[in-house]
Structure 1
Amino acid sequence: MDKPVLIIIGPTAVGKTAISFKLANRLKNVEIISADSRQVYKYMDIGTAKPRKDELEKVNHYFIDIKLPDEYYSAGMYGRDARKKIEQLFESGKTPIVVGGSGLYIRALVDGFFEKRIADAEVRQRLKNELQQHGVTPLYERLQQVDEITAGKIHHNDGQRIVRALEVYELTGKPLSKFQKETSVKADFIPVFVGLNRERKLLYQVVEKRVDLMIKNGLVDEVSKLKEMGFVPPLNSLRTVGYRETFEYLANKIDFSEMVRLIKQRSRNYAKRQLTWFRQDKRIKWFNLDDYEEDRERLVEQVIEIVSAS
């Protein structure tokens, strides 16, 4: 294919969606590929900061509301599905733009997966916590269910290797035993990375303002409805900043002010981790939104120039 595809990345709340809509207004036939590992889930609108319904009606979006909160969806599955969708959009004369902050989704889409590179500190730590709390047997039994071949090669008390095998499976949806290191899974297009950031203090301010807006817009009610529908922890989809703390509040484990404090603190930490991840990729052209505060159109022009030159 060898066509350029703009990929807009950056930390949570930085302003990726707003810029993508400005680009959609300037370019022809734009349709947006979401790269957000939580916006794929239905009924989780406020806490994941999905675009509003009127915005979704203006520009077609893909990979939003495609799964129920209790359905499994991995980065590997996303990479495969998103590559196919981009190919379809090009064939129909559309201009796909990828927008999101999920680094693992972006990597799966653009570079494919190589087993040694598949890693996520949060997933690994969660599995290690399960190992410490419940012992190795439940994890080993889970591995037997999803990857019998690898389980047969690992001693049932080898917690480290069991955790690693489960980490790979959770991230890719593919058993470690069947993992193939093939370059053919790479994207058949030219990725044009544009990163959006702000000065750290200002970024944290907009992150906290977004949390306040989520609370005002009804995050607690949204989580209450999820609970009524039977979608409750420890579902993976609900191990998300905002939802985890609100469930704790509804269970009377923390009070309201502590809930808000924790959401803000963990959202700031999440933004920091996102930046750490993305800064490892030297292909990204970074823009400081503070430099374009009074003239976002100038930023849009510069991004268009980068894509045109690719």
Structure 2
Amino acid sequence: MTKVLISIVGPTAIGKTALSIALANYFKTDIISSDSRQFFKEMQIGTAAPTQEELNAAPHHFIHHKSITDDYNVGSFEKEALNKLEKLFKKHDIVIMVGGSGLYVDAVTKGLDDFPEVDSNIRQELKIQYDNEGLKSLQDQLKRLDLETYKTIAIDNPHRVMRALEVCIGTHKPYSSFLNKKKNKRPFKTITIGLNTDRETVYKRINERVDVMMEQGLLEEAKNLYKFKHLNSLNTVGYKELFNFFDGNWTLEFAVSEIKKNSRRFAKRQLTWFKKDEGTIWFDYQTPRDIIIEAVNSKIKAL
């Protein structure tokens, strides 16, 4: 039988975890996470990582397997995920992947894009610009040079913005022009399921989730991680806003409102990214599981 990876995507707080467990139980298989922040064991509440009950409901991989102090990136994840899939496909014909980090999803299903080497001095100049003028200066520059990338990458992540800019400046071409040029052949087929609903409902669910996170102890979790705030892994919605509160820059109420606002912006970018894949089968988040399973089975038979 053809080996099949079922990839579940969609905006944050839409219900991807619950669907992944339902599908894993139906197909009696394992789940691998492609959420780039749920990898880190110190970040549990703020990343909406699966609860212990959810972890017990199906075998999970790439959840809390790294520390925030580890040097871990999308290239490392691609290698590890493909190795894990090779082992899992010896036991299962179908494996589930779930996560809202578009670059990490694509790394597994399509492979990473090739970028030309650029002068390392460009990165140093961009770092100086960031230190002197702040992130907005870099964001504005990227918006001028490559609007498509500006709209789709994690625009609040200085490392991602600088990486895109150094390619734009070093090659005199948009960063986005190098994307999706190479399609790596995979020893499995991918079926992508997307969950979504109207924007108002997505935003309401995000706001409610942030309130629940605060009730669960996000403030204390962020306080314990404050000394590591310089790490790229903690340049993450839900933590960086609370770090501003600890620094005395914001009130707690304003910090929480910023978490909600930035989470909504992140959801918008996620959808922009995932909507680019025309092969994705989209469902409203309230669609009964049996209808989604029926659609998946039909797709598998057609492979």
Q: Deviations over 1:176-235 (max 9, x none)?
A: xxxxx99695422111111111111111111111111111111001112223xx4x2221
- Once residues 166 and 293 of structure 2 are traced to their aligned partners in structure 1, the CA distance between those partners, rounded to angstroms, is 38
Letter in 2 for 1:3: K
Please tell me whether the aligned partners of residues 4 and 94 of structure 2 are also in contact (alpha carbons under 8 angstroms).
no
Letter in 2 for 1:284: T
Q: 1:264 aligns with which of 249, 260, 264?
A: 260
Q: Deviations over 1:80-120 (max 9, x none)?
A: 11111111001133631010111000111111122249xxx
Q: Which residue of 2 aligns with 1:302?
A: 295
- Once residues 190 and 92 of structure 1 are traced to their aligned partners in structure 2, the CA distance between those partners, rounded to angstroms, is 16
1:131 paired with 2:129, answer: yes
- Once residues 214 and 82 of structure 2 are traced to their aligned partners in structure 1, the CA distance between those partners, rounded to angstroms, is 35
Please tell me whether the aligned partners of residues 31 and 94 of structure 1 are also in contact (alpha carbons under 8 angstroms).
no
Please tell me whether the aligned partners of residues 11 and 270 of structure 2 are also in contact (alpha carbons under 8 angstroms).
yes
Letter in 2 for 1:133: D
The number of residue pairs the alignment matches comes to 258
- Once residues 87 and 68 of structure 1 are traced to their aligned partners in structure 2, the CA distance between those partners, rounded to angstroms, is 24
Letter in 2 for 1:11: P
Specify every segment of 5 or more residues in structure 2 that has no aligned partner in the other structure, as ranges: 117-121, 134-161, 168-179
Q: Which residue of 2 aligns with 1:15?
A: 15
- Once residues 197 and 188 of structure 1 are traced to their aligned partners in structure 2, the CA distance between those partners, rounded to angstroms, is 29
Q: What secondary structure, in the 3-state scheme, does the structure 2 residue paired with 1:195 have?
A: strand
1:205 paired with 2:204, answer: yes
Q: 2:279 aligns with which of 261, 278, 283?
A: 283
Q: What secondary structure, in the 3-state scheme, does the structure 2 residue paired with 1:115 have?
A: coil
Letter in 1 for 2:206: V
Instruction: State the Cα distance separating 1:19 from its structure 2 match.
Output: 0.8
For residues 130 and 235 of structure 1, do their structure 2 counterparts lie closer, same or farther at Cα, with a shift above 3 Å needed?
farther
- Once residues 164 and 69 of structure 1 are traced to their aligned partners in structure 2, the CA distance between those partners, rounded to angstroms, is 21
Letter in 1 for 2:70: E
Q: Which residue of 1 aligns with 2:230?
A: 234
Q: Which residue of 2 aligns with 1:147?
A: none
Specify every segment of 5 or more residues in structure 1 that has no aligned partner in the other structure, as ranges: 118-123, 136-162, 169-180
- Once residues 165 and 62 of structure 2 are traced to their aligned partners in structure 1, the CA distance between those partners, rounded to angstroms, is 25
- Once residues 188 and 266 of structure 2 are traced to their aligned partners in structure 1, the CA distance between those partners, rounded to angstroms, is 29
Q: Which residue of 2 aligns with 1:64?
A: 63
User: Matches of residues 112-127 of structure 1 in structure 2 within 5 Å?
Assistant: 112-116=111-115
For residues 79 and 167 of structure 1, do their structure 2 counterparts lie closer, same or farther at Cα, with a shift above 3 Å needed?
farther
Instruction: State the Cα distance separating 1:301 from its structure 2 match.
Output: 3.0
1:254 paired with 2:224, answer: no
- Once residues 112 and 81 of structure 2 are traced to their aligned partners in structure 1, the CA distance between those partners, rounded to angstroms, is 14
Letter in 1 for 2:26: R
Q: Which residue of 2 aligns with 1:6?
A: 6
- Once residues 166 and 193 of structure 1 are traced to their aligned partners in structure 2, the CA distance between those partners, rounded to angstroms, is 30
User: Matches of residues 151-170 of structure 1 in structure 2 within 5 Å?
Assistant: 163-164=162-163
Q: In percent, how many aligned pairs have the same letter?
A: 40
Letter in 1 for 2:272: T
Please tell me whether the aligned partners of residues 83 and 187 of structure 1 are also in contact (alpha carbons under 8 angstroms).
no
Please tell me whether the aligned partners of residues 194 and 282 of structure 2 are also in contact (alpha carbons under 8 angstroms).
yes
- Once residues 225 and 249 of structure 1 are traced to their aligned partners in structure 2, the CA distance between those partners, rounded to angstroms, is 14
CA-atom RMSD, angstroms? 2.9
- Once residues 188 and 213 of structure 1 are traced to their aligned partners in structure 2, the CA distance between those partners, rounded to angstroms, is 41
TM-score (norm 2): 0.77
- Once residues 10 and 184 of structure 1 are traced to their aligned partners in structure 2, the CA distance between those partners, rounded to angstroms, is 22
User: Matches of residues 82-101 of structure 1 in structure 2 within 5 Å?
Assistant: 82-93=81-92, 95-101=94-100
